[in-house]
Chains A and B, each alone.
Chain A
Amino acid sequence: MGKCKLRQFIFVFGVIFSFACSQAPIHKQDSKQGKPLTIAVASNFYLTAKLLLATHPYYQNVKLVSGSSGTLYAQAKNGAPFDVYLAANSYFPQQLYKDGLSNKPVDYAQGKLVLYPVATGKSLEEILKQSNRIAIANPDIAPYGMAAKQILERNLVDNTKLVFANNVSQAFQFVDTGNVDTAFLAQSLLYHAHQQSKRAQYSQYLLLPLDTYNPIMQQATIMLNSNKQALAQDFLEYLVSKEVQEGIANMGYLAVNQKLDDNK
């Protein structure tokens, strides 16, 4: 009896398994320029990088590895096969440079901090006073969280109101699911949320003045152990080119050559 049942089970499982396998998509592995670049990118810049690469014929095969800047740093330091590292701050790339593992880092974007959601006409002080729960990215590990903390401290916000998300994406989840009233986010995140859903609510935010927090300078660096130095250098030049910088200025970042008072 048991044997018969077991056979039946194996048969059913086998059928399901082979069906699942036959449905799996077949990935095309062809790449016209030999092996593609592997780029480790901080999660806040991931969607932007994806958009940038998708519009560029040369870089369509680039492999993007997304994660928090700290995780990617730890991976890069321990020999992960990254060619380029795009961080969400300047601290981690500078650290890699100091460790003697990468080239000199360059600025490639500047982050813009926003408060969300904010109905038109409301001020920062009003919103902070009215909110019961405010989500910020963890200031110890996330650059946008550190910036948010500076603003909160200046406005003497009660610390018990604060909820610490792992990163701005999680702060967004907290506010988007209605679990907190307000969150400090990256403008780029709301840009992508708006692009994907086309919901008007994602454009109801308050852009915080750039002189109220330390600049969130995102830096990129080329790993020394990469065997595609020239290709990586080309990519970095493309990233800081006028064309790309104008593009990311529309996606919630500040182009790196822009001045402080150009903030719109």
Chain B
Amino acid sequence: MNLPDFTALLLTFKLALITVVVLLVLGIPFAWVISRYKGALKPFIEAVIALPLVLPPTVLGFYLLIAFSPNSTLGSLWITMVGDQFVFNFAGILIGSIIYSTPFVLQPLIAAFEQQGEQTLQTTKTLGIPLFKGVLIFLLPSIKPAIITAATLGFAHTLGEFGLILMIGGNIPGETQVVSIALFNYVEMLDYESAHMLAGTLLLISFITLSLLYKFNKHNFRIGRFPVSSGNSKTGRYEK
């Protein structure tokens, strides 16, 4: 493993970690609100959350490229706010990753809140515990497995992110050149040996990280078994 590979690995994990933290901090309150909301717009909101699953990442990246072009309103606003261009730097790929991983983090959270929220809150209400305290002390710990599942899915999904970063990254080492891009370059350069090395390292580290997460999350809903939000809302309270 040479230095550029190490830089790319470090950058990838940094990106995945920040993405997950941001998504959890914003996602938990948002998922709570969505799970409580029973209005007519609910199916549409859930559809919007699921949309990043539909759009191919390169297409998503292409639209970000257009939307945040310095010539556009959004792009110039971004430059005034952040001081730098949206694309070709870390902040850009971070926003991209957040959009890209949103469904993976939000869906398990919404599902868990819908399953456990009502009951837990009824209990705390009977005990005379204020709502805020009830959520913080009883509800959040009770959905811990879902939070860990959400974090794991978001993290793993960001590690493997490729098309989006290919579109808006600009392949800058240490800034936007993540492992998947570095891997792709090796393959294109016919340097299969380095590609195998890097892919192997990524797989090994990811395997260890995920195993540890699952080990410490005994009552988890495993990947592939978490309730999909649309299905859940159909059978849930929302139809009453």
Contacts and interface: CB of A to CB of B under 8 A. Distances in A.
**Do chains A and B interact in one complex?**
yes
B171 A179 contact: no
Interface in B54-105: 62, 65-66, 68-72, 75, 85, 87-88
A108 B78 CA distance: 46
Q: Chain B CB within 10 Å — which of A2, A73, A74, A174 has the most?
A: A174
B199 interface: no
A163 B185 contact: no
B188 A177 contact: no
Contacts of B187: 70-71, 74
A177 B190 contact: no
B170 A174 contact: yes
Contacts of A165: 170-171
A68 B189 CA distance: 11
A51 interface: no
B151 interface: no
Interface string A95-129: 10000000000000000000000000000000000
A215 B15 CA distance: 39
Contact of A173 (B65, B85, B190): B65
A5 B235 CA distance: 10
A166 interface: yes
Given A140-B189, A141-B185, 12 more contacts: A70-B189, A74-B187, A95-B190, A133-B88, A138-B171, A138-B185, A141-B188, A164-B172, A166-B166, A177-B66, A177-B71, A178-B69
A68 B188 contact: yes
Interface string B88-128: 10000000000000000000000000000000000000000
A73 B70 contact: no
B219 interface: no
Interface in A109-165: 133, 135, 138, 140-141, 163-165
B234 interface: yes
Contacts of A179: 65, 68-70, 85, 87-88
B188 A70 contact: yes
Contacts of A163: 88, 170-172
The 4 closest A-B pairs by CB, nearest first: A164-B171, A70-B188, A163-B170, A178-B71
A177 B65 contact: yes
B54 to A, nearest CB: 15
Contacts of B171: 138, 163-166
A141 B181 CA distance: 12
Nearest to A132: B85
A164 B170 contact: yes
18 contacts: A2-B235, A70-B188, A70-B189, A71-B188, A133-B85, A138-B185, A140-B188, A140-B189, A163-B88, A170-B167, A177-B65, A177-B71, A178-B71, A178-B72, A179-B65, A179-B68, A179-B70, A179-B88
A163 B84 CA distance: 14
Contacts of A133: 85, 88
